[in-house]
């Protein structure tokens, strides 16, 4: 591992992790799924599972957040070979940007072609309700705009170009397929489409910050996902993202409401089945 603009990994580190996984499972996944807070049960739906705790995989750090199991699950879903991250890494845990996206680059070396990212998010859009599922059509990378970017430092052309385009970060075909799946499942009433904004965390946003994010055009806010999406696009992966709206942000100084992580986890459990249904049906339709 080298240090260049913050702690970074060498290409050999990614390759060592990928080689280790390929040597310990016969699965050759083409789809990777990242589970957000409270959404880990999605990985339990895979058949013919092979499970690896993060601490067993070379260069994988531990996940420290409640609701994140911290393991990779290989298996099949709707007949497709997949790998599922039950627990992700966050900047607020003290990880560098390269650590946050380390698994994504490993997935690309495993042969993964499509990435599905899920997260728990606060609803900024006044029309959103707790329990809604938001298909991510775009994002705002606040840490990246301030310099905390996953591609900062020397670029490795074996992953992608120096200046990748991310105006097409979220694959339109996958987005349309997911919308079709949600309609087929009868979930149209609580499906939304919007812009996700990433903040650093771990504190939840102030009222003034929520008003600012809403003015910027964000529909939901969270502390993950965006760095993974950027790294995935850098590696040439197709990306689909979906947010579970677990709470509505507070925008009034008269309000007595307070956001807490337990509420986020509880809402995730209540709507987890619907999210699993959408992702599962989408995987079945991915070419």
Q: Which sequence positions are flagged as catalytic?
A: 37, 68, 90, 92-93, 120, 223-224, 247, 261
5, 108, 103: which is closest to 61 by C-alpha? 103
Distance CA 41, CA 69 (A): 10
Beta-strand runs (E) in the chain: 2-3, 7-8, 31-35, 47-53, 71-77, 80-86, 114-123, 133-141, 191-198, 220-222, 238-248
Task: Give the contacts of 118 (CB within 8 A, at least 6 positions apart).
Answer: 33, 34, 35, 36, 39, 42, 241, 242, 243, 244, 275, 279
- My answer on whether omega of the bond before 202 falls inside 30° of 0, hence cis, is yes
Strand, helix or coil for residue 204 = coil
In sign, the C-alpha dihedral spanning 155, 227, 68, 184 is negative
């Amino acid at each position: 591992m080298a240090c260049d603009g913050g702690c970074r990994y060498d290409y050999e580190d990614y390759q060592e992790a990928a080689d280790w996984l390929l040597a310990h499972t016969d699965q050759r996944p083409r789809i990777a799924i990242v589970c957000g807070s409270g959404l880990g049960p999605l990985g339990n739906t895979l058949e013919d599972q092979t499970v690896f705790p993060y601490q067993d995989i070379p260069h994988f750090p531990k996940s420290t957040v409640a609701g994140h199991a911290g393991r990779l699950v290989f298996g099949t879903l709707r007949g497709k070979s997949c790998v599922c991250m039950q627990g992700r890494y966050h900047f607020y845990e003290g990880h560098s940007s390269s650590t946050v996206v380390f698994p994504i680059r490993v997935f690309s070396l495993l042969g993964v072609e499509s990435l599905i990212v899920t997260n728990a998010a606060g609803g900024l859009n006044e029309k959103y309700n707790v329990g809604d599922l938001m298909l991510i059509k775009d994002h705002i990378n606040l840490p990246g705009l301030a310099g905390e970017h996953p591609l900062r430092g020397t670029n490795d052309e074996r992953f992608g170009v120096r200046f990748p385009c991310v105006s097409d970060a979220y694959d339109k075909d996958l987005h349309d397929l997911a919308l079709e799946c949600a309609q087929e499942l009868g979930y149209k009433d609580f499906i939304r489409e919007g812009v996700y904004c990433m903040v650093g965390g771990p504190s939840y946003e102030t009222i003034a910050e929520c008003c600012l994010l809403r003015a910027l055009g964000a529909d939901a806010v969270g502390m993950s996902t965006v760095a993974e999406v950027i790294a995935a696009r850098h590696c040439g992966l197709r990306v689909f993202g979906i947010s579970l709206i677990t709470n509505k942000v507070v925008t009034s100084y008269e309000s007595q409401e307070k956001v807490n992580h337990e509420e986020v986890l509880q809402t995730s459990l209540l709507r987890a089945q619907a999210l699993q249904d959408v992702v599962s049906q989408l995987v079945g339709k991915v070419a």
